[in-house]
């Protein structure tokens, strides 16, 4: 007997907002109402709630993390939470709001396919709402849910909901986000999260969980070219099995697109061409593979290929670039040093890079482009890099996998920035 459950894949989403918006309560509510919270955890937070003199159980305590932050009452970084509805698994990236917010939100958004933007019904669209929305759009999140929360403190008023929705839509048209849905919520009471509740019968749309259940989970929804950065080369020459003497498997994950046996491919940077002899997983032939699958490719011809190379379909070869323009989020305490050389990691390929120009900085509060001489932590800017090695890049807009890179400081090996190719 095996357990058969219909599987709608996995959806990664992030929640944007500050503690005041009820973000932790919303996450706690999702976990609680989907029965993810088990008795012992619930009893622990019930005790803590009582100790703090609260009347009801404070669900926001569920997302409390580290000792230091518990002591200081602040959250430090991105935390990941999990729940499942039986048909779909969810990963929530929770980037708490504080002074390092931009950096954390960009990090959390980088792996998300959907963002929930929380608005306090009493306050409406705020500067931070604009900032969250702009960042979500910059990092290429295709689906947004604008959750107008704390409806319990706004008399569950439809008028308030419609007014805020209007305000948001007016601003959103300037930011360029396409798929936006709205929902009124009370995370505190659980209205419209998993259950509808009885307070907002005027709202006829789906609950938050219903929206999440049908949101596209696929990595991408439009046709993308085949991109296969080589991570590792498998050459089991020492094997006793003579069939493996000439085995040369190129291991990696399909960033985008698809591949099957017989497809004509080009290996970059050499530019040599061949055809796909086999597509394997764990040494077993699977014939074809799609985006996000980790596979091994065998080619018909012997081509010298190593980590950092990229295999693409011969009909869709990306440009090899030695200079890139990108939107960069700076993430280190020390500002970017214009005189220094950094390391850029793009797919499985590294290149030394120098800053050629800062075109402008984006003020994430006003969304205005402002001139800038330097980049400090949490700054977002449009910059130009000169590269020592060519990268095989697509624009981030076209391809999140091959349009993204991180910046590494070789002196301490820290990741100091994130970039999206324009």
By beta-carbon proximity to another protein, the closer residue of 117 and 289 is 289
Name the DSSP class of 235.
Answer: -
Binding mask 378-417 for another protein (x = CB under 8 A): ----------------------xx--xxx-x-x--xxx--
Which among 116-124, 126-134, 239-247, 265-273 is the span making contact with another protein, rule CB under 8 A? 239-247
In whole angstroms, the minimum distance from the beta carbon of 38 to another protein comes to: 5
Name residue, tokens 């596979």. 295
The answer to whether 267 and 305 have CB atoms below 8 angstroms apart is: yes
Q: How many CB atoms lie within 10 A of CB 241?
A: 8
Which among 161-169, 204-212, 245-253, 363-371 is the span making contact with another protein, rule CB under 8 A? 245-253
The answer to whether 289 and 258 have CB atoms below 8 angstroms apart is: yes
By beta-carbon proximity to another protein, the closer residue of 192 and 279 is 279
Question: From the list 55, 73, 242, 282, which residue makes contact with another protein (rule: CB under 8 A)?
Answer: 282
The answer to whether 348 and 229 have CB atoms below 8 angstroms apart is: yes
Question: From the list 34, 46, 64, 273, which residue makes contact with another protein (rule: CB under 8 A)?
Answer: 64
Per DSSP bridges, beta strands 288-290 and 284-285 are unpaired
Q: How many CB atoms lie within 10 A of CB 195?
A: 12
Determine if the peptide bond prior to 93 is cis (ω within 30°). Answer: no
Phi, psi torsion values for 306, nearest 5 degrees: -140, 175
In whole angstroms, the minimum distance from the beta carbon of 1 to another protein comes to: 5
In whole angstroms, the minimum distance from the beta carbon of 314 to another protein comes to: 22
Name residue, tokens 């918006």. 21
Q: Which of 416, 385, 398, 422 is nearest to 106 (CA)?
A: 416
Binding mask 299-328 for another protein (x = CB under 8 A): --------x---------------------
Name residue, tokens 């002196």. 411
216 binds another protein (CB under 8 A): yes
258 binds another protein (CB under 8 A): yes
In whole angstroms, the minimum distance from the beta carbon of 170 to another protein comes to: 25
Question: From the list 18, 34, 91, 367, which residue makes contact with another protein (rule: CB under 8 A)?
Answer: 91
In whole angstroms, the minimum distance from the beta carbon of 184 to another protein comes to: 25
* Three-state secondary-structure class, residue 307: coil
Euclidean distance between CA atoms 229 and 404, whole angstroms:
13
List residues bridging with 198 in a β-sheet: none
Binding mask 2-21 for another protein (x = CB under 8 A): xx---xxxx-----------
Site for another protein in 324-363 (CB under 8 A): 331, 345-348
Which among 121-129, 246-254, 360-368, 384-392 is the span making contact with another protein, rule CB under 8 A? 246-254
Euclidean distance between CA atoms 269 and 278, whole angstroms:
22
Which among 145-153, 161-169, 195-203, 229-237 is the span making contact with another protein, rule CB under 8 A? 229-237
By beta-carbon proximity to another protein, the closer residue of 214 and 388 is 214
By beta-carbon proximity to another protein, the closer residue of 22 and 142 is 142
* Three-state secondary-structure class, residue 370: strand
Question: From the list 19, 34, 81, 356, which residue makes contact with another protein (rule: CB under 8 A)?
Answer: 81
Euclidean distance between CA atoms 11 and 213, whole angstroms:
9
Question: From the list 66, 319, 370, 397, which residue makes contact with another protein (rule: CB under 8 A)?
Answer: 66
The answer to whether 228 and 311 have CB atoms below 8 angstroms apart is: yes
In whole angstroms, the minimum distance from the beta carbon of 21 to another protein comes to: 20
Residue environment code for 86-116, b if the CB has 16+ CB neighbours within 10 A, otherwise e: eebbbbbbbbbbeebbbbbbbbbbbebbbbb
By beta-carbon proximity to another protein, the closer residue of 158 and 414 is 414
Q: What Rg, from alpha-carbon coordinates, does the chain have?
A: 24
418 binds another protein (CB under 8 A): yes
Helices vs. strands in the chain: H and E counts, helices first: 7, 22
Which among 38-46, 114-122, 165-173, 192-200 is the span making contact with another protein, rule CB under 8 A? 38-46
Site for another protein in 126-185 (CB under 8 A): none
In whole angstroms, the minimum distance from the beta carbon of 408 to another protein comes to: 6
287 binds another protein (CB under 8 A): no
Kind and range of the H or E run holding 358:
strand 349-362
Per DSSP bridges, beta strands 114-120 and 288-290 are unpaired
Question: From the list 84, 201, 270, 365, which residue makes contact with another protein (rule: CB under 8 A)?
Answer: 84
Ranges of H-type helices in 278-404: none
In whole angstroms, the minimum distance from the beta carbon of 61 to another protein comes to: 10
261 binds another protein (CB under 8 A): no
């Amino acid at each position: 007997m095996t357990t058969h459950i219909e599987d709608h894949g996995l959806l990664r989403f992030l929640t944007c907002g500050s503690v005041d918006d009820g973000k932790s309560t919303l996450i706690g509510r999702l976990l609680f109402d989907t029965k993810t919270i088990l008795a012992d955890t619930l009893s622990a937070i019930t005790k803590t709630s009582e100790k703090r003199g609260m009347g009801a159980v404070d669900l926001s305590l569920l997302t409390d993390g580290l000792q230091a932050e518990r002591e200081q009452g602040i959250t430090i970084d991105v935390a990941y939470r999990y729940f499942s509805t039986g048909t779909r698994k969810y990963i929530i990236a929770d980037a708490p709001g504080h002074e390092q917010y931009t950096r954390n939100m960009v990090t959390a958004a980088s792996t998300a396919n959907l963002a929930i933007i929380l608005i306090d019904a009493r306050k409406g669209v705020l500067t931070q709402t604009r900032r969250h929305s702009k960042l979500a759009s910059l990092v290429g999140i295709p689906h947004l849910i604008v959750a107008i929360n704390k409806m319990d403190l706004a008399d569950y008023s439809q008028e308030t909901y419609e007014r805020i929705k209007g305000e948001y839509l007016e601003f959103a048209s300037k930011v360029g986000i396409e798929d936006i849905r709205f929902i009124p919520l009370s995370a505190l009471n659980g209205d419209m999260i998993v259950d509808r509740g009885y307070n907002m019968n005027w709202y006829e749309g789906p609950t938050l969980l219903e929206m999440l259940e049908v949101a596209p989970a696929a990595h991408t929804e439009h046709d993308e070219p085949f991109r296969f950065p080589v991570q590792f080369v498998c050459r089991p020459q020492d094997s006793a099995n003579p069939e493996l003497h000439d085995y040369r498997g190129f291991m990696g994950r399909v960033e985008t697109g698809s591949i099957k046996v017989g497809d004509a491919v080009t290996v970059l940077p050499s530019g040599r061409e061949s055809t796909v002899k086999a597509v394997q997983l764990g040494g077993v032939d699977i014939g074809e593979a799609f985006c996000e699958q980790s596979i091994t490719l065998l080619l018909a011809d012997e081509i010298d290929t190593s980590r950092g190379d990229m295999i693409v379909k011969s009909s869709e070869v990306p440009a090899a670039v030695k200079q890139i323009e990108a939107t960069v989020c700076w993430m280190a305490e020390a500002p970017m040093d214009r005189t220094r050389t950094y390391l850029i990691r793009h797919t499985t390929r590294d290149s030394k890079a120098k800053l050629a120009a800062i075109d402008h900085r984006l003020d994430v509060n006003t969304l205005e482009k402002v001139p800038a001489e330097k980049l400090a932590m949490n700054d977002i800017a449009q910059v130009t890099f000169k590269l020592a090695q060519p990268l095989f890049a697509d624009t981030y807009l076209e391809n999140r996998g091959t349009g993204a890179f991180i910046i590494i400081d070789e002196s301490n090996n820290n990741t100091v920035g994130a970039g999206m190719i324009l």
